[in-house]
A and B are shown apart, each in its own frame.
Chain A
C-alpha cells in the first residue's frame, strides 16, 4: 500500500519555480529521505506534504486520499522541526498533550498516550519540566514525542538533528532508526547530510534545483548514480572526477586519456556507447576504488589524513587534477611521494559533458 504519493507537484514563489514537476511514491512504513544541498527545495517539499506550504500544481496523496487542499491538521501527519518548535510556556507533558487537548480527548486517554510516548523516548522524568530546562537531545525527544502522541500516518522530520553536537547526532540517528522499526510508520526525513541519508533511509530522493535527480535505495544510489551530481553528492569523501578525452573505443568500453597527464589513460567499462574518439568526458572513481600500483597514473601525494583504520591520501595528477585515494590500514604518510594509481575498469564511471551517466 502506498504511504505518500506526489503527482507532478509544482511550487512557485512568484516567477521562481522552487519545486518542478516532482512525482514520487513512498510505500507505507518506508523511511524516505530527501537529501540535497541548501536551497534544493527539500524542506519546501516536506512542508508541502505537511500542508504548511500551498501546492501550486499537482496532487499530494496520503494513503490513497488526496490531501492537496486539506488543512495541515487533517492530513494525518506530524512534523518534527529543526528548531524543535516546543511551546516554551508549557511543560513537556503539556507540549506533548497539546494536540489531544485541542481535540478534546478524554483526560485518561491523554495521560495514557503521553506516558506511552514518554516511555518509548525515555523522557518520563522530564514531563514536569519546561523546555528551557532541557538539553538539546531531550528537547529533540520531546519534539518526537509530541509527534508520536498524535499517532500520525506519516512522520515528517525537517533536519531534526542539525542542532545537536556530533556525538548526540550519531546516537539520535540510531534511535530514530530503532523508533522507525518499533512504530512501523511512514517517515519522511529531510537532511543535507548524506551520511544521515545513507544510514537512515530505505529510499533516498536526491534533489537539486527543485527536481528529483534520482531515487532509490542508499546502495543503489552509491553504486549506480544516474548523473554526476548524485555521484558527487552521495559518498564521503566524494567521488573523484577527472576530465578526460576518449582516445579509443573498444568492445568492452572506452579508453580515456586524462587531461594534462601526458597521454596517461584509464579504461572504463561501458555496455552501450555512442562515444567516439576525441569526445570529452568526465570519469568518476570512488576513493576506495583507486589502487596504488607499479604503473598507472602518476600522482604526487600532497597530504595524508590518517583516521586509524583508514587513511585518505590527497594527491595531484600530472595535469593538476586532484584525487583522493582511500587506503585501509595504511600506516605510511606517503607525503610528497610520487605514486602510481589505477582503477578497475568496472569501477570507472563515465559521465557525458552534460553530467549524465553513460552506461
Chain B
C-alpha cells in the first residue's frame, strides 16, 4: 500500500493528541507542580516562598516519616506475596472446575472487589467489633480473650492487611485464570506422556509459564499496597500509637489538617520516587528471574 508519510504523521498525532492533552492536564502538570511546591513553604491553597531543600531536610529528621515508612514496608510484606500466593492457589482450584460452576465460584471470589472501600471497612469493622463482632468468639478461642483489633498495635496492621487481601484478591485471581487459560492443554498432555506427576506438571509447566503473570501481579500489588490510605484512615485512623500510620496519611494530615502544602508535597514526592524505583526494580528483577 502506498502511504503518504506526512499524512500518516498527521493522523497519528491527531489520534494521540486527546490522550497527551489529558495526560498533561491531570498528571504531568500536577506532578511538576507538586515537585515545585515541595521546595516552598506554601499552604494548602495559594503559593509560598522558595525554601530550597528545607522541607526535605525537615522530613529526614521527622520520626513520623520513618515510622510511616516502616509501616508501609510492613504492610507490603503482609500483603504482596501472600495475596499473590493465595490468588494463585484459588486460580488453580477454580481452573479445575468446569462450565457454569467455574463462573459461579469465580464470581464469588470477585464479588468483594466491586465493593467500595467504605463498605468493605464497615463490614469488617462490624465483624471485628470488640463488643458484638461475630468474629470475636473466634479470636477469643485462639487468644483466650477478645481483642479490640483496630486498637491493638500488633493486631492492627495484620488485620488491615487481611481485609485488603480479601477485598482485592478477586482481581488477581482473574489475572491468574487468564494466564492459566493461555497455557495450551497440549503441553499438559505431552508432559503426561513424558511421565510427569501432578507436582512436576505444576513445577515444570504451570509455574514457569505463569511467571510473567506472577511478575505482573507482584508488581501491581506492590504499587497498590504502597499507596495504602483508605483502609487505615477508615479503620484505625493511623493508630494506635501511630502503629498503622503510613506515608499517604502523613501527606493527608500535613496538607489538609495542618495546612502545610509544601511539606506535604515533599512527602508525596518521596513516595512517588519510592514507588517508581521499587516497582521498576522489582519488575526488572522478576523478568531476569523468569528468563534464566
Given contacts A81-B186, A89-B209, contact A52 B192 (CB under 8 A): yes
Question: How many A residues face the partner with a CB closer than 8 A?
Answer: 22
Complex interface: chain A residues within 8 A of B200 (CB): 102
Expressed in whole angstroms, the Cα–Cα distance for A98 and B190 within the complex equals 10
* Contact status B193-A50, CB under 8 Å: yes
Expressed in whole angstroms, the Cα–Cα distance for A51 and B194 within the complex equals 12
Q: How far is the CB of B112 from chain A (nearest CB, A)?
A: 33
Q: How far is the CB of B287 from chain A (nearest CB, A)?
A: 13
The stretch of A72-80, A159-167, A217-225, A332-340 that contacts the partner chain: A72-80
- Is there a chain A Cβ closer than 8 Å to B99's Cβ? no
Complex interface: chain B residues within 8 A of A102 (CB): 194-196, 200, 204
* Contact status B205-A87, CB under 8 Å: yes
Contact of A79 among B190, B195, B205, B209 (CB under 8 A): B190
- When C-beta atoms are compared, the residue in chain A nearest to B188 turns out to be A85
Contact of B193 among A79, A83, A103 (CB under 8 A): A79
* Contact status B190-A81, CB under 8 Å: yes
- When C-beta atoms are compared, the residue in chain A nearest to B190 turns out to be A85
Contact with A along B179-219 (1 / 0, CB 8 A): 00000101101111111100010001100110000000000
* Contact status B205-A72, CB under 8 Å: no
Q: How far is the CB of A226 from chain B (nearest CB, A)?
A: 34
Given contacts A83-B184, A85-B186, A87-B187, contact A98 B194 (CB under 8 A): yes
* Contact status A77-B187, CB under 8 Å: no
* Contact status B184-A85, CB under 8 Å: yes
Given contacts A83-B184, A87-B187, contact A78 B209 (CB under 8 A): no
- When C-beta atoms are compared, the residue in chain A nearest to B209 turns out to be A89
Given contacts A87-B205, A88-B209, contact A98 B184 (CB under 8 A): no
Contact with B along A121-159 (1 / 0, CB 8 A): 000000000000000000000000010001000000000
Complex interface: chain B residues within 8 A of A73 (CB): 192-196
- When C-beta atoms are compared, the residue in chain B nearest to A94 turns out to be B204
* Contact status A78-B195, CB under 8 Å: no
Complex interface: chain B residues within 8 A of A52 (CB): 189, 192-193
Expressed in whole angstroms, the Cα–Cα distance for A50 and B193 within the complex equals 8
- Is there a chain B Cβ closer than 8 Å to A306's Cβ? no
Q: How far is the CB of B184 from chain A (nearest CB, A)?
A: 6
Complex interface: chain B residues within 8 A of A89 (CB): 208-209
Given contacts A73-B194, A99-B195, contact A81 B209 (CB under 8 A): no
Complex interface: chain A residues within 8 A of B195 (CB): 73-74, 99, 102-103
Of residues 145 through 165 on chain B, the ones whose CB sits less than 8 Å from some CB of chain A are none
* Contact status B187-A72, CB under 8 Å: no
Of residues 103 through 121 on chain A, the ones whose CB sits less than 8 Å from some CB of chain B are 103
Given contacts A85-B186, A87-B187, contact A72 B208 (CB under 8 A): no
Complex interface: chain A residues within 8 A of B196 (CB): 73, 102
Expressed in whole angstroms, the Cα–Cα distance for A81 and B192 within the complex equals 13
Complex interface: chain A residues within 8 A of B194 (CB): 73, 98-99, 102, 146, 150
Q: How far is the CB of A73 from chain B (nearest CB, A)?
A: 4
- When C-beta atoms are compared, the residue in chain A nearest to B195 turns out to be A73
Q: How far is the CB of B215 from chain A (nearest CB, A)?
A: 14
* Contact status A81-B205, CB under 8 Å: no
* Contact status B189-A98, CB under 8 Å: no
Q: How far is the CB of A53 from chain B (nearest CB, A)?
A: 10
Complex interface: chain B residues within 8 A of A103 (CB): 195
Given contacts A73-B194, A99-B195, A150-B194, contact A81 B189 (CB under 8 A): yes
Expressed in whole angstroms, the Cα–Cα distance for A222 and B190 within the complex equals 35
* Contact status A85-B192, CB under 8 Å: no
- When C-beta atoms are compared, the residue in chain B nearest to A83 turns out to be B186
- When C-beta atoms are compared, the residue in chain B nearest to A75 turns out to be B193
- When C-beta atoms are compared, the residue in chain A nearest to B197 turns out to be A102
Complex interface: chain B residues within 8 A of A85 (CB): 184, 186-187, 189-190
Complex interface: chain A residues within 8 A of B208 (CB): 89
Complex interface: chain B residues within 8 A of A81 (CB): 186, 189-190
- When C-beta atoms are compared, the residue in chain A nearest to B207 turns out to be A89
Of residues 44 through 79 on chain A, the ones whose CB sits less than 8 Å from some CB of chain B are 50-52, 71-74, 77-79
- When C-beta atoms are compared, the residue in chain B nearest to A87 turns out to be B187
Complex interface: chain B residues within 8 A of A83 (CB): 184, 186
Expressed in whole angstroms, the Cα–Cα distance for A103 and B191 within the complex equals 12
Expressed in whole angstroms, the Cα–Cα distance for A85 and B189 within the complex equals 9
Q: How far is the CB of B196 from chain A (nearest CB, A)?
A: 6
Q: How far is the CB of A146 from chain B (nearest CB, A)?
A: 8
Q: How far is the CB of B77 from chain A (nearest CB, A)?
A: 29
Of residues 48 through 67 on chain B, the ones whose CB sits less than 8 Å from some CB of chain A are none
* Contact status A72-B192, CB under 8 Å: yes
Interface centre among B186, B194, B195, B204 (most CB of A within 10 A): B194
Complex interface: chain B residues within 8 A of A146 (CB): 190, 194
Expressed in whole angstroms, the Cα–Cα distance for A206 and B186 within the complex equals 25
Complex interface: chain A residues within 8 A of B193 (CB): 50-52, 72-73, 77-79, 99
11 A-B residue pairs with Cβ-Cβ distance under 8 Å, sorted by A, are: A50-B193, A73-B192, A73-B194, A73-B196, A79-B193, A81-B186, A81-B189, A85-B187, A87-B204, A87-B205, A102-B200
Closest 10 pairs (CB-CB, A-B): A73-B195, A99-B194, A85-B186, A85-B190, A89-B208, A72-B193, A102-B195, A81-B186, A83-B186, A72-B192
Further 15 A-B residue pairs, CB within 8 A, beyond A79-B189, A98-B194: A52-B192, A72-B192, A73-B193, A73-B194, A78-B193, A79-B190, A81-B186, A85-B187, A87-B191, A99-B193, A102-B195, A103-B195, A146-B190, A146-B194, A150-B194
